[in-house]
C-alpha cells in the first residue's frame, strides 16, 4: 500500500480546521494519576492510576458505582475538577505538549442527555458544537460515518429517554 493510501485510510477530523485532514493516530497514556479533594481534608479519590488508549482500539473503563470512572475521565480531560487536586502525567503521542481536548472528546453520563431527543438529534447537536468550523454538509457526512462506525444507525430515530421516567434506548437497541 502506498504511503498516500495508508495515510488517507487514517483520516481523522481535526476540529480547528475547515476541512478533513490526514493526521497521525495518537496514543493516550496516563501515569500515576492521583486525585484528592483539596479541603477541608485531603481525601484521596484516585491514587496511582496508569493506563493507555492505543489508536484503533476501544478501551472499556469499567467498575462499580463510585469506583472513580467519571473522576478519571474528567481528570484526563481536565473537566469538572473544582475542589480537586490532580497530579500525574497525561501524554498524547508521547508528549505533554498536546492537549487532549484538541484531539479527543467524550459524552458524559446519561444524566447529560436530553431525554426527549433522538439519538440522531443528540449527536447532531454535539457535532454542531464540536465541529463548528465545518459546513453543515460536512458535519452531516462525519455524523453519518460515526453513527455507522458505532453501530447506531438502526436506533438513530429512537428517543434517548430517562431511566424510570421516559422509556427510551438501552443496550439492547444496539
Q: Radius of gyration (Cα) for the chain, nearest Å?
A: 18
What's the pLDDT at 76?
92
**C-beta of residue 127 within 8 angstroms of C-beta of residue 41:** no
Q: How does 35-55 read in b/e, with b if 16+ C-beta sit within 10 Å?
A: bbeeeeeeeebbeebeeeeee
Q: pTM for the whole thing?
A: 0.56
- Report the percent of the chain where pLDDT is more than 70: 78
pLDDT in tens, 127-153: 888 787 888 899 899 889 888 888 888
- Of the candidates 143, 141, 137, 104, which has an alpha carbon nearest to the alpha carbon of residue 15? 104
**C-beta of residue 131 within 8 angstroms of C-beta of residue 13:** yes
The three-class DSSP label of residue 131 is coil
pLDDT in tens, 74-85: 999 888 888 899
**C-beta of residue 31 within 8 angstroms of C-beta of residue 50:** yes
What's the pLDDT at 166?
65
Of 17-21, 118-122, 165-169, where does the model show the most confidence? 118-122
**C-beta of residue 161 within 8 angstroms of C-beta of residue 167:** yes
Average pLDDT over residues 121-126: 88
How far is 39 from 59, CA to CA, in rounded Å? Answer: 33
Strand-pair category, 11-12 with 21-22: antiparallel
pLDDT in tens, 8-67: 334 333 344 444 455 678 899 999 999 999 877 778 999 999 999 998 888 888 888 888
Q: Where are the domains of the chain?
A: 1-104, 107-174
What's the pLDDT at 134?
83
Residues facing 87 on adjacent strands? 34
Average pLDDT over residues 83-100: 90
1-104 topology per CATH: Rossmann fold (3.40.50)
Q: Tell me which of 4 and 61 has the higher pLDDT.
A: 61
Amino acid at each position: 500500500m502506498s504511503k498516500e493510501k495508508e495515510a488517507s485510510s487514517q483520516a481523522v477530523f481535526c476540529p480547528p480546521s475547515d476541512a478533513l485532514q490526514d493526521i497521525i493516530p495518537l496514543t493516550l497514556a496516563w501515569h500515576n494519576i492521583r486525585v484528592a479533594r483539596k479541603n477541608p481534608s485531603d481525601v484521596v479519590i484516585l491514587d496511582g492510576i496508569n493506563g493507555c488508549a492505543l489508536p484503533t482500539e476501544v478501551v472499556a473503563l469499567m467498575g462499580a458505582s463510585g469506583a472513580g470512572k467519571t473522576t478519571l475521565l474528567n481528570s484526563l480531560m481536565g473537566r469538572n475538577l473544582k475542589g480537586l487536586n490532580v497530579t500525574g502525567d497525561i501524554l498524547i503521542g508521547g508528549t505533554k505538549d498536546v492537549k487532549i481536548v484538541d484531539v479527543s472528546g467524550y459524552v458524559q453520563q446519561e444524566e447529560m442527555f436530553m431525554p426527549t431527543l433522538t439519538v440522531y438529534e443528540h449527536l447532531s447537536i454535539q457535532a454542531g458544537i464540536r465541529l463548528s468550523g465545518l459546513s453543515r454538509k460536512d458535519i452531516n457526512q462525519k455524523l453519518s460515518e460515526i453513527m455507522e462506525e458505532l453501530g447506531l444507525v438502526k436506533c438513530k430515530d429512537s428517543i434517548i429517554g430517562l431511566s424510570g421516567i421516559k422509556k427510551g434506548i438501552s443496550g439492547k437497541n444496539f
